Chains A and B, each alone.
Chain A
Amino acid sequence: MSAFRSLSIASLKSFLRDRIAVFFSFAFPLIFIVIFGLVFSGSGTGRIEIGLVGEGPVASALESSGAFELRRFDSLPEALNEVEEGEIPAAVAVEGNRVTIRYAASDPAAAATVRGVVEGVVNEVNLRVAGVSPTYQVTARQVEDSTLQPIQFIVPGMMSWGVALGAVFGSAFTLVTWRRKQVLRRLRSAPVGLGVILAARLVATLLIGVVQAVVFIGVGLLPAFGLRLSGQWWLALPVLLLGIVAFFAVGLVIGAVCKTEEATSGVANAIIVPMAFLSGVFFPLDQAPQWMRSVGDFMPLKHMNDGVSAFLVHGQAPEAMAVPLVVLAGFTALMTLVAARLFNWEAG
């Protein structure tokens, strides 16, 4: 067996037998996927829930419009009680020819929506009853925009973050532990180049990263979370792999600088955690101030996440790969150069 293969296998075995490493690589990001997935589930449906009292054509038309989640009440006071308690923003009562809307003063935006929709429905019913065909007609059709579903950004974001974290810790800890335990020294006294040693570790990291991605996507696809992949999801693979390489290189720099595992963990977290927020992997940056988005543009994690999301969920054309790949390749080259300058086989 070649030195390269046997070192890759040794690295994989070391990883798989390290429960803490496996936990942080798999369970940790999964916990975030599950929490965010459950917290945000439903919030993206955009349907307002209102109370409805009474029967008749208007009530039926409201039901068939699908504009609201309707909660049936037997009497208006019952419905108003729910409005007062803030459970629903508005209640609609149909009594004979009278349609009453009562809304919570605290939520004028929802109130306006409810009022607009109910008035529209009432007008439509009026026209139908009068047997008049409308002069003007509105045709509305929805545009499929997957970003509206939170799980569609949660899974790619957590995947990019989890895989990047795994790559950084993988290479940094390997260098530091191997240096401290004199494994590096021992390898130096064997006829193997440093390139072969690092390439073997990189292959192990790439394999682990791909398995991580498969697990995260697999969990996202469960009915409870409802992730929907675009038709060309596999185009995300090149970005994912180069992202792993880039963060492996970041880990090499950390591993070259740090002497102890404790320091390594601290430095790696100090880099990855702020980067994760600035890159918008936990929360989309659409609402963030401009300066924060500008800083994010310098973060390799943002480009990795953009590139992965582009194909995983947005179904963009292959050209969308260009910017992420160029940025990640440049970052890899820069980090490798810095690591090569700082690298030392021995401690002290």
Chain B
Amino acid sequence: MDAAGPEGNAIVVDGLRKSYGALVAVDGISFEVRQGEFFGILGPNGAGKTTTMEMVEGLRRPDAGTVRILGESPWPRNFGLLRRIGIQLQASAFFDKLTAVEQLQTFASLYGADRKAAREMLELVGLGEKANTREDRLSGGQRQRLSIACALVHGPDVVFLDEPTSGLDPQARRNLWDVLESIRSRGKTIVYTTHYLEEAEQLCDRVAIMESGRLLAVDTPADLVAGLDAPTRVLLKAGVIPVDTARAIAGVDGAAEEGGLLTITTSSPGTVLAHLAETTPLDTLQVRTTTLEDVFLHLTGRAYRE
């Protein structure tokens, strides 16, 4: 189980557990991350995502359980392994008053890596023009991208990103998604935490859903959604067609009006939409498919709160 083959697991986590006094932050979780995979750990704030990450990264000692990254244990500090992983922390950990490129050069040197990589990383995260700007004069989104570049500058095989998109405005988040996609396309294994479910659904190959220190599910977003076998909802402006007419359409499981909207639920959306297209003006029609939020609701019995 120690060796990770080329197509094998980059990370193997087994029975990880951590308590702070009476509070059980992480309650015995196990999962694997495959080489080259974009793996998301999702859950609301306080679910134990960061503690899990810290134990996997070797920044925190687990009470129980084992972690193997590329076949090696991250605890105690293991310089050989540290060179092969890149860690981005929640806070923006920078040296005081150094410019963007100086931060990257310094971090490159810490890993014995080529300082020339600094410029390339700045381009990768779209900060090429901010090379000579001091970190304290960058915007929140720019700092976030710089901290990701700092985690990548030594060319690690496995990258850990802790809440890289939190606290950013929508535009900055979209920009960052592009950065994350381009990192993935370089063949890195990426483990990242987020509390944005729709973001994870879009970015991740596989996700682990966490709540209260436990893993509720680990799978691809598509399989999680499909496994739920939940109906599709078609939304129409109330009054466009009567509720009873809607109920009578072939393939409709149910229909109800609420808050100015008529919601039709169906397991065969194709049939229903075809019928509606022939009989009804569709300007206001919306289709809601199942999302990870529905999965979360199903798994916990509670609506998802970020």
Is residue A13 within 8 Å, beta carbon to beta carbon, of the partner chain?
yes
Q: Are A190 and B107 in contact (CB-based, < 8 A)? A: yes
Q: Are B79 and A191 in contact (CB-based, < 8 A)? A: yes
Hey, which chain B residues are within 8 Å of A6, CB to CB? 105-106, 109-110
Nearest residue, chain A, Cβ from B77: A188
**Quick one: given A7-B106, A190-B107, are A13 and B89 in contact (CB under 8 Å)?**
no
Is residue A286 within 8 Å, beta carbon to beta carbon, of the partner chain?
no
Hey, which chain A residues are within 8 Å of B82, CB to CB? 189-191
Is residue A183 within 8 Å, beta carbon to beta carbon, of the partner chain?
yes
Is residue B259 within 8 Å, beta carbon to beta carbon, of the partner chain?
no
Main secondary structure, interface of A, reads helix
Is residue A60 within 8 Å, beta carbon to beta carbon, of the partner chain?
no
Residue-wise interface mask of A (210-221) relative to B, using a CB-CB cutoff of 8 A (1 in contact, 0 not): 000000000000
Hey, which chain B residues are within 8 Å of A9, CB to CB? 106
Is residue B13 within 8 Å, beta carbon to beta carbon, of the partner chain?
no
Contacting B at CB under 8 A, from A218-270, are none
Residue-wise interface mask of A (167-179) relative to B, using a CB-CB cutoff of 8 A (1 in contact, 0 not): 0000000000100
Q: Are A10 and B98 in contact (CB-based, < 8 A)? A: yes
Partner of B109, one of A5, A17, A177, A182: A5
Hey, which chain A residues are within 8 Å of B163, CB to CB? none
Interchain CA distance A328-B96 in the complex, whole Å: 30
Is residue A192 within 8 Å, beta carbon to beta carbon, of the partner chain?
yes
Hey, which chain A residues are within 8 Å of B106, CB to CB? 6-7, 9-10
Q: Are A191 and B93 in contact (CB-based, < 8 A)? A: no
Q: Are B110 and A183 in contact (CB-based, < 8 A)? A: no
Interchain CA distance A7-B110 in the complex, whole Å: 8
Is residue A123 within 8 Å, beta carbon to beta carbon, of the partner chain?
no
Hey, which chain A residues are within 8 Å of B92, CB to CB? 181
Hey, which chain B residues are within 8 Å of A3, CB to CB? 109-112
Least Cβ–Cβ distance between A260 and chain B, in angstroms: 15
Q: Are B79 and A14 in contact (CB-based, < 8 A)? A: no
Nearest residue, chain A, Cβ from B95: A10
Interchain CA distance A285-B107 in the complex, whole Å: 49
Residue-wise interface mask of A (186-207) relative to B, using a CB-CB cutoff of 8 A (1 in contact, 0 not): 1111111000000000000000
Q: How many residues of B contact A (CB 8 A)?
A: 31
**Quick one: given A1-B109, A3-B109, A7-B106, are A189 and B58 in contact (CB under 8 Å)?**
yes
**Quick one: given A181-B91, A185-B89, are A191 and B97 in contact (CB under 8 Å)?**
no
Interchain CA distance A192-B82 in the complex, whole Å: 9
Q: How many residues of A contact B (CB 8 A)?
A: 24
**Quick one: given A1-B115, A181-B93, A189-B58, are A13 and B98 in contact (CB under 8 Å)?**
yes
Least Cβ–Cβ distance between A197 and chain B, in angstroms: 9
Interchain CA distance A1-B94 in the complex, whole Å: 19
Interchain CA distance A177-B136 in the complex, whole Å: 14
Hey, which chain A residues are within 8 Å of B109, CB to CB? 1-3, 5-7
Q: Are A187 and B110 in contact (CB-based, < 8 A)? A: yes
Interchain CA distance A2-B107 in the complex, whole Å: 11
Is residue B184 within 8 Å, beta carbon to beta carbon, of the partner chain?
no
Hey, which chain B residues are within 8 Å of A191, CB to CB? 79-80, 82-83, 110-112
Contacting B at CB under 8 A, from A16-34, are 17-18
Most A CB atoms within 10 A — which of B83, B95, B102? Answer: B95
Hey, which chain A residues are within 8 Å of B77, CB to CB? 188
Interchain CA distance A181-B98 in the complex, whole Å: 14
Hey, which chain B residues are within 8 Å of A189, CB to CB? 57-59, 82, 85, 87, 89
Least Cβ–Cβ distance between A221 and chain B, in angstroms: 33
Interchain CA distance A9-B115 in the complex, whole Å: 14
Q: Are A14 and B93 in contact (CB-based, < 8 A)? A: no
Interchain CA distance A187-B93 in the complex, whole Å: 9
Hey, which chain B residues are within 8 Å of A187, CB to CB? 110
Most A CB atoms within 10 A — which of B83, B105, B106, B111? Answer: B106
Nearest residue, chain B, Cβ from A190: B110
Interchain CA distance A1-B104 in the complex, whole Å: 13
Least Cβ–Cβ distance between B39 and chain A, in angstroms: 19
Most A CB atoms within 10 A — which of B79, B83, B102, B109? Answer: B109
Interchain CA distance A346-B93 in the complex, whole Å: 12
Partner of B94, one of A5, A7, A17, A183: A183
Contacting A at CB under 8 A, from B145-200, are 150
Nearest residue, chain B, Cβ from A1: B109
Partner of A18, one of B85, B96, B102, B150: B96
Interchain CA distance A7-B105 in the complex, whole Å: 10
Hey, which chain B residues are within 8 Å of A18, CB to CB? 96-97
Known: A6-B106, A189-B59. 9 other contacts (CB 8 A): A1-B109, A6-B109, A6-B110, A7-B109, A13-B102, A182-B91, A182-B93, A187-B110, A192-B110
7 A-B pairs closest in CB distance? A6-B109, A191-B79, A186-B93, A17-B97, A182-B93, A14-B96, A189-B87
Q: List 8 A-B contacts (CB under 8 A).
A: A2-B112, A3-B112, A6-B110, A10-B102, A182-B91, A189-B58, A190-B82, A191-B82
Chain A interface (Cβ < 8 Å from any Cβ of B): 1-3, 5-7, 9-10, 13-14, 17-18, 177, 181-183, 185-192
